[in-house]
Structure 1
Amino acid sequence: MAKDMEAVGGSGEFRPKDYHDPPPAPLVDAEEFIQWSFYRAIIAEFIATLLFLYITVLTVIGYKSQTDPNLGADQCGGVGILGIAWAFGGMIFILVYCTAGISGGHINPAVTFGLFLARKVSLPRAVLYMVAQCLGAICGCGLVKAFQRAYYNRYGGGANELADGYSKGTGLGAEIIGTFVLVYTVFSATDPKRSARDSHVPVLAPLPIGFAVFMVHLATIPITGTGINPARSFGAAVIYNREKAWDDQWIFWVGPFIGAAVAAFYHQYILRAAAAKALGSFRSSASM
């Protein structure tokens, strides 16, 4: 329990109020399987990831076709890397805003993994979310290929690959740090204690999450094309199905999962001092 502040009437003054951390999610909750809200959330994750890949991969392919020198295109045309970053960040903002009240708006196995480690979701929910996200990503990329068949394979299918001149270690590091930024932002933006403490300062959680995705893409598009989302990388690799995309695929799973785990540990055990609270509770029990 912590003491936070709440407004007193209309005076503008604030006084302490009690805050209780919500209980951790059970590892396995059998009741979830008989609730429609559980399956509705899985469907929401599938559709959101499908839409995410459809819009963003179309943006990537459209940019490459607009700047293709073989077509006599203007090399300074198209949306550019900045526009691609905006497409990814903007779609995350929109989709998290739309689905947060239904599924939590994960749209990313790394986010789901981090929240599972922090005991925010149960194991069955986490696993089924990841399956839905990967299937949604495959279907989203499949739609892109269906609509842009002439350009899809020519311009790489939006698949994540390590750029020439970078080592696999560099690519892995970029994915770890990029995913850390994203998942750390997710934890901070959705922290119920912050909502209680700063209730007089409304925070629209999808906005900082979308900006985190935008900023990470600006930094890492030249290195890996920016994964930070295993479903995004997997869906594009399945539909594009080229050797280079599969050779580098492990980077876009190992890196995000490590980054998510570090972010979960940092937020829960350093910033929120969960370890210190647990130790203090143990000492209090021992002295009774």
Structure 2
Amino acid sequence: MAHSHSFHNLRHRKERSERIDQRPSVSSRPFAGRIGGNQEFTIAPDDASFTTIISKVPDAAATFTWKQSFSLAGFSDVELWKESLIEGVGTCLQIYLAGLYAVGLAPAVTETALGPITPATFGSLANWVLIALFIYAGGPVSGGHFNPLITMSTFFAKLSVFPRTVLYIVFQCTGAVIAGWLVRASLGQPAKSFEGVPGCYIDPELVTPAQAYVLETMSCFALVFIAFGVGLDPRQRQVLGPALSPILVGLALAICTWSSGIARPGYSGASMNPARCLGLMSSAERFTYHYIHWVGSITASMLNGFLYWLVPIYKPESA
């Protein structure tokens, strides 16, 4: 009787294994600049389809040249346009939710004795969870950037090619502007109600452009430095793995949001996502100092790219 029961279990496991083997294969395109992947999802040179894939999208491999990066062939890759669309949709949804609680938290600056500490704290905690969830959701398809700062940083660090960078940023900004106007339409408030959104508002009477530039650049640099260390550096693959890094990237953003949001009167916190401020400031019809959100992000991206050139991830190939 026991032998019969054991045989039944063995047959059941075999049938189950056969059913699993018959499942369709998962569609996943390799991409070195995938946040949370620690460059785990890249194509190896010995892969049969290596040459075909690299000819269209060189950042499917762990390393590529600047010449390959600026190849315009990527713009004809339909799959890259689909991934860019996901970036646009994800950015729209993320900024819509973030815009709602940002508008709701803005009055707390003057309504509590703690001043900006209250909205900065709650906003940071919300950002932590929101960013981590969206990286988990979009990472398998597009890499889970949803932020021009991350996309530009992967470009300067040679993890994203030029066509991907351009398409991602265009779709991210488009999604952000749509989100900003959807927030305004949802709340039914005038444009002036959106001027003081935390992370995008800077009082020009209290904060100079130079001060805002330093605050934005250093906050972006800190975020990118941590995001690359925990989410893109393959040396962390065995330590953290792809599953934990989105949580740590969200935590890094939360810390940067909180610290920059309470330090300077007239400065409601670093943007660290120029698309977010583009969308929310367009709904406010007010773009004071918005160029700093872009210049600071570009500067931080270039600094991070220089570090990865100075101390590269991979050893140079021996002659």
Residue of structure 1 in register with 2:147 after alignment: 108
Point out the more displaced range, 258-267 or 162-171.
162-171
Unaligned runs of 5+ in 1: 1-18
Q: CA contact under 8 A between 2:217 and 2:300: conserved in structure 1?
A: yes
Residue of structure 2 in register with 1:179 after alignment: 220
Q: Which has the higher strand share?
A: 1
Aligned with 1:156 (options 187, 195, 211)? 195
Residue of structure 2 in register with 1:227 after alignment: 271
1:51 aligned onto 2:93:
yes
Residue of structure 1 in register with 2:160 after alignment: 121
Instruction: Give structure 1 regions of 4+ aligned residues with deviation exceeding 4 angstroms.
Output: 73-79
TM value normalised by structure 1: 0.76
| Cα distance between partner residues in 1 of 2:179 and 2:103 | 14
Structure 1 pair 265–56 and aligned structure 2 pair: CA distance change class (3 A): same
| Cα distance between partner residues in 2 of 1:115 and 1:198 | 21
Residue of structure 1 in register with 2:136 after alignment: 97
Q: Spell out, residue by residue over 1:3-28, the C-alpha distance to the aligned partner (whole angstroms, 9 max, x if none).
A: xxxxxxxxxxxxxxxx9992227312
1:135 aligned onto 2:177:
no
Q: CA contact under 8 A between 1:40 and 1:102: conserved in structure 2?
A: no
Aligned residues: 251
- Match for 1:136: what amino acid? G
For residue 166 of structure 1, report the CA deviation from its aligned partner: 2.4
Residue of structure 1 in register with 2:229 after alignment: 188
Aligned-residue Cα RMSD (Å) equals: 3.0
| Cα distance between partner residues in 1 of 2:280 and 2:166 | 20
Structure 1 pair 134–91 and aligned structure 2 pair: CA distance change class (3 A): same
Aligned with 1:217 (options 257, 277, 282)? 257
Q: CA contact under 8 A between 2:74 and 2:164: conserved in structure 1?
A: no
- Match for 2:310: what amino acid? Y
Structure 1 pair 191–53 and aligned structure 2 pair: CA distance change class (3 A): closer
Residue of structure 2 in register with 1:8 after alignment: none
SS in structure 2 at match of 1:158: coil
- Match for 1:52: what amino acid? Q
Residue of structure 1 in register with 2:76 after alignment: 33
Percent identity, please.
Answer: 24
| Cα distance between partner residues in 1 of 2:75 and 2:220 | 29
SS in structure 2 at match of 1:205: helix
Once the two structures are superposed, the pairs formed by residues 55-74 of structure 1 within 5 Å of their partners are 55-65=97-107, 67=108
Q: CA contact under 8 A between 1:46 and 1:132: conserved in structure 2?
A: yes
Q: CA contact under 8 A between 1:112 and 1:130: conserved in structure 2?
A: yes
Residue of structure 1 in register with 2:63 after alignment: 23
Q: CA contact under 8 A between 1:42 and 1:128: conserved in structure 2?
A: yes
1:239 aligned onto 2:283:
yes
Q: CA contact under 8 A between 1:157 and 1:236: conserved in structure 2?
A: no
For residue 131 of structure 1, report the CA deviation from its aligned partner: 0.4
Point out the more displaced range, 145-154 or 223-232.
145-154
TM value normalised by structure 2: 0.69
